Structure 1
Amino acid sequence: MSQPQLPTNDPQFPGGTVQLSGRKLVISLLIMGIATTSLMFVYWEQHTRPFRSLREAIGREFKHSRPNVEGGRQKGRGPWTLRISMKVDFPPTEDTGRAQEIANRILQLTSQIQRDNQYENIELNLIQFIPQEVAKTKTITWTAEELKAEQ
């Protein structure tokens, strides 16, 4: 079996190719894969750690809601926003009473768990996924002034 050859313009190698053993190629690919996986793990750990406890609390409170919690600024500017997205099993735009009950409970959980109040806004997205249709979404946003008034 012939070894892979890479083209080169180096005058030291007549014929214009460099021979690379299969063993070195496989080892270098494994090292690159391990390094990439490690970097992805570290990034994901740092990105989700501040919100993990809130996400788990929402998941325990609302089974099968698949909550996602993120924080930051949209595109690096604007107010600091805590974004919470979760799946619901009812149309959130039509059943506003039930949506408001969920929103109030989410706000209570957020105030209990996310004690460092560095966010200026809290945004809750309630999403109903319907097969073969567009998802129905309701977004509820609280500003810092509204949050202080509710406490």
Structure 2
Amino acid sequence: MAVSALVHLVTGGLVVGGALLIVLGWETIVQPVLGLFLIFLAAELRPRFGKVDEERLLRRAGVPRLFALLDDIAEAVGTRGFDAVRLTQDFAISAVPFGLRRRRLDIGLALWETLTPQQRIACPARARGHFAAGDVRHNLMVRTALPP
């Protein structure tokens, strides 16, 4: 958390420093140019909340039985349910935060096909457990400080 706070403070400092160089540094052309450079650097380092290809997401209305099962799993684990499910070609199942407070379950079909019915329930429960246990990688401050 401390490193994430430092990353965000540095980004904010770049914006403030760049703006001050632009506004107050008109004695030479170097200072405003350096200010613009700092602002562009801050734009590259800005927090990212995750992009989602909306076309590839399964929503609650489209697959109500799957979301009912996922809600039951989330209730058993002690967290709230998923907002969306995305099918991938990966050999993994993972819970992914996106946006400000939304959570998505990525289901890798390569893995899903090899699982027994009990394992198909255990994998989303394990992925959900990262949120229940307070895994810091899923914290908004940490997540937005990580590279995309």
Normalising by structure 2, we get a TM-score of 0.27
Greater strand fraction, Structure 1 or Structure 2: 1
Q: Which has the higher contact order (CA 8 A, sep 6+)?
A: 2
Higher helix share: 2
Larger Rg: 1
Q: TM-score, normalised by structure 1?
A: 0.26
